[in-house]
Amino acid sequence: MGVKEKCIRSASAAETHALAAAIAARMPAGTVIAAQGDLGMGKTVFAAGLAAGLGVPDTVTSPTYIFFNEYQGRLPFCHIDAYRLEGLTEEEISLTGIADCFRREKTAFVEWPDFIAAFLPPDTIWLRILPGNAPELRLLTFSYSDQTGGWLDAAFGD
């Protein structure tokens, strides 16, 4: 199984949102996207775009203090913010119920995934969001397996 990478430039929050919505329109059940990036890089904007692409009618906000929110759309969508889970044991993390978000009939988007890496499925799509050379510019780099590639490549227009 090989790993693919795709880097996409986004010039604005609106472009990031639209990219995520296009990905969600093709996203199958069981998809987990783990997003790495500093504060203010657009992780929650991306989550809101995924939710919109899945037909979630609710406003998506960061679940920092409650760990995750679950929304209903074309597929169940869990938005996880693992930032406050840093330093907890696996047993303590399991008590939050986060593992339920990774069931095969759901989709999930994880902010600060390094804090719950042991819970992430092996076919997780990794997203790294970095600042560009202009205030709104973002570089979104996706790393994913060849097996995931078919639908994701189509969402990218490849």
Question: Over the stretch 58-89, which tens digit does the pLDDT of each residue have?
Answer: 888 887 778 899 999 999 999 999 998 888 88
Q: Is the pLDDT of residue 1 over 70?
A: no
Return the axis-axis angle of helices 146-156 and 13-26, rounded to nearest 10°: 120
Q: Is the pLDDT of residue 33 over 80?
A: yes
Vertex 16: Cα angle to 14 and 19 (nearest 5):
110
Read off the pLDDT of each residue in 86-97 and give the average, rounded to a whole number. Answer: 89
pLDDT for the residue numbered 137: 87
Give residue 149's pLDDT band: very low, low, confident or very high (50, 70, 90).
Answer: low
Where residue 50 sits, what CATH number does that domain have?
3.40.50.300
Kindly state the percentage of the chain with pLDDT values over 90. Answer: 66
Q: Indicate the range of 28-32, 100-104, 128-132, 144-148 predicted with least confidence.
A: 144-148
Q: Is the pLDDT of residue 142 over 90?
A: yes
**SS3 labels along the chain:** CCEEEEEEEECCHHHHHHHHHHHHHHCCCCCEEEEECCCCCCHHHHHHHHHHHCCCCCCCCCCCCCCEEEECCCCCEEEEECHHHCCCCHHHHHCCCHHHHHCCCCEEEEECHHHHHHHCCCCCEEEEEEECCCCCCEEEEEEEEHHHHHHHHHHHCC
pLDDT for the residue numbered 103: 93
Domain range spanning residue 62?
11-145
Q: What predicted TM-score, i.e. pTM, was given to this entire model?
A: 0.93
Instruction: Kindly state whether residue 59 falls inside one of the protein's structural domains.
Output: yes
For residues 60 and 51, is the Cβ–Cβ distance under 8 A?
yes
pLDDT for the residue numbered 87: 86
Average pLDDT, rounded, for the chain: 91
Instruction: Kindly state whether residue 17 falls inside one of the protein's structural domains.
Output: yes
pLDDT for the residue numbered 158: 66
Instruction: Kindly state whether residue 70 falls inside one of the protein's structural domains.
Output: yes
Domain tally for the chain? 1
Instruction: Kindly state whether residue 150 falls inside one of the protein's structural domains.
Output: no
Residue 111: which residues within 8 A CB-CB, separation 6 or more? 35, 43, 44, 47, 62, 79, 80, 81, 82, 83
Instruction: Kindly state whether residue 30 falls inside one of the protein's structural domains.
Output: yes
Instruction: Kindly state whether residue 3 falls inside one of the protein's structural domains.
Output: no
Instruction: Kindly state whether residue 125 falls inside one of the protein's structural domains.
Output: yes
Read off the pLDDT of each residue in 141-158 and give the average, rounded to a whole number. Answer: 84
Please state, in angstroms and rounded to a whole number, the distance separating the CA atoms of residues 37 and 131: 9
